[in-house]
């Protein structure tokens, strides 16, 4: 995570780790050791706000990324003025292994999160601003519908080859038309969000100036990586999971691999890199050179189109 470390004097003295599930919030407070279990609902969020107010010192709340189960709580806490961060599950898991913790329960996880925040006070992702949250919801929904259309096309192709039920063609056509209409509507709403705020619009225009980055790729980059403009190229590569991690020991030089990062970003950048390898004047010769060396297709295509982007973006 890319937040700058804060001084010890400014750190809140109460850390609250919360394990978020679909139905429940299990919490642990440091240093008092208080535990609580609340429903993951508006009522439970209100009760949590009361608990935080009763704590003897300002609190900092942390929870793992759980596929969206934590966003409503996150928004409520930040709106109420509580410092709240989203933490990487991979970091929490590695921290648990480093402490020799093999048991996994919601109560254990809540305590691990609180202790991890004490160990790494600079870690954590801050809540993006509202327009970026809306943009993220729209781009996520578009990705889901595009995937539906892709599966439908595959099913139509399979039925055509098998010569099954020609009378289903009209139903397939209607469904495909509906999906494409929803995709167009979402793209219009995404374009509207990008045009509403000068800073977001400036970032989108700068991203789209890179050959290979289109309007949807730019929107997804802004939605999934709001830190753009406040990080180095190496940090951006690590966040997207495109930084090749070395595996060396002594004289042994292992194969470098990419891992981790934000999955949605990797997918959109891979598609952008396919276009950039053909049309980006800075990356086209690099892709050609890698192909001539016999490098695998995915390695050639994993060259991020952002490598030719300007070094600074409006923050």
Q: What's the domain count of the chain?
A: 3
In a domain, 225, yes or no: no
The answer on pLDDT for 190 being more than 70 is yes
**Per-residue pLDDT band at 93 (split at 50, 70, 90):** very high
Structure tokens at 67: 């596929």
Q: Which of 72, 94, 119 is the last residue of a domain?
A: 119
**Per-residue pLDDT band at 308 (split at 50, 70, 90):** very low
Structure tokens at 165: 């039920």
Give the HSE-up count for residue 222: Cα atoms under 13 Å, Cβ half-sphere. 35
Write out the H or E segment, with its range, that includes residue 63. strand 59-64
Q: What is the mean pLDDT of residues 242-263?
A: 78
**Per-residue pLDDT band at 3 (split at 50, 70, 90):** very low
Q: Are residues 12 and 113 in the same domain?
A: yes
In a domain, 205, yes or no: no
Q: Are residues 12 and 60 in the same domain?
A: yes
Whether residue 262 has a cis bond before it, omega within 30° of 0: no
In a domain, 215, yes or no: no
In a domain, 218, yes or no: no
Q: Which one has a higher pLDDT value, 71 or 160?
A: 71
For residue 191, what are the domain limits? 130-196
Q: Are residues 251 and 277 in the same domain?
A: yes
Q: How many CB atoms lie within 10 A of CB 181?
A: 11
pLDDT digits (tens, 9 = 90+) for 128-183: 888 899 999 999 999 999 999 999 999 888 877 777 666 778 888 899 999 999 99
Burial degree of 176 (CB within 10 A; 0-12, 13-18, 19+): middle
- Decide: 240 and 225 in contact? Cβ < 8 Å: yes
Q: Are residues 109 and 140 in the same domain?
A: no
Q: What is the CATH number of the domain that holds 105?
A: 3.30.420.40
Q: Is the entire prediction scored with pTM above 0.85?
A: no
Q: Which one has a higher pLDDT value, 301 or 13?
A: 13
Q: Are residues 113 and 13 in the same domain?
A: yes
């Amino acid at each position: 995570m890319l937040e700058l470390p804060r001084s010890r004097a400014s750190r809140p003295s109460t850390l609250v780790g919360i394990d978020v599930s679909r139905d429940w919030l299990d919490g642990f407070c440091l240093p008092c050791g208080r535990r609580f279990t609340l429903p993951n609902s508006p009522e439970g969020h209100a009760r949590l706000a009361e608990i935080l107010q009763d704590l003897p010192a300002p609190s900092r709340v942390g929870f793992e990324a759980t596929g969206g189960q934590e966003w409503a709580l996150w928004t409520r806490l930040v709106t109420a003025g509580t410092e709240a961060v989203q933490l990487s599950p991979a970091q929490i898991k590695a921290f648990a292994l480093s402490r020799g913790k093999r048991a996994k329960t919601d109560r254990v996880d809540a305590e691990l999160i609180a202790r991890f925040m004490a160990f790494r006070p600079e870690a954590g992702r801050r809540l993006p601003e509202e327009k970026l949250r809306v943009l993220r919801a729209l781009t996520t929904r578009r990705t889901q519908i595009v995937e539906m259309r892709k599966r439908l096309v595959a099913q139509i192709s399979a039925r055509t080859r098998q010569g099954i039920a020609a009378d289903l063609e009209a139903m397939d056509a209607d469904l495909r038309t509906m999906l494409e209409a929803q995709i167009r509507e979402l793209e219009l709403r995404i374009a509207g969000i990008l045009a509403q705020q000068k800073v977001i619009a400036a970032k989108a225009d700068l991203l789209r100036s890179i050959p290979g980055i289109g309007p949807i790729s730019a929107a997804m980059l802004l939605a999934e990586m709001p830190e753009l403009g406040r990080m180095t190229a190496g940090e951006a590569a690590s966040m997207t999971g495109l930084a090749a991690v070395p595996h060396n020991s002594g004289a042994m030089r292992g194969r470098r691999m990419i891992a981790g990062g934000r999955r949605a970003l990797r997918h959109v950048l891979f598609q952008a890199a396919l276009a950039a390898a053909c049309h980006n004047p800075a990356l086209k010769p690099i892709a050609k050179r890698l192909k001539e060396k016999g490098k695998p297709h995915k390695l050639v295509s994993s060259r991020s189109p952002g490598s030719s982007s300007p070094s600074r973006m409006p923050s």
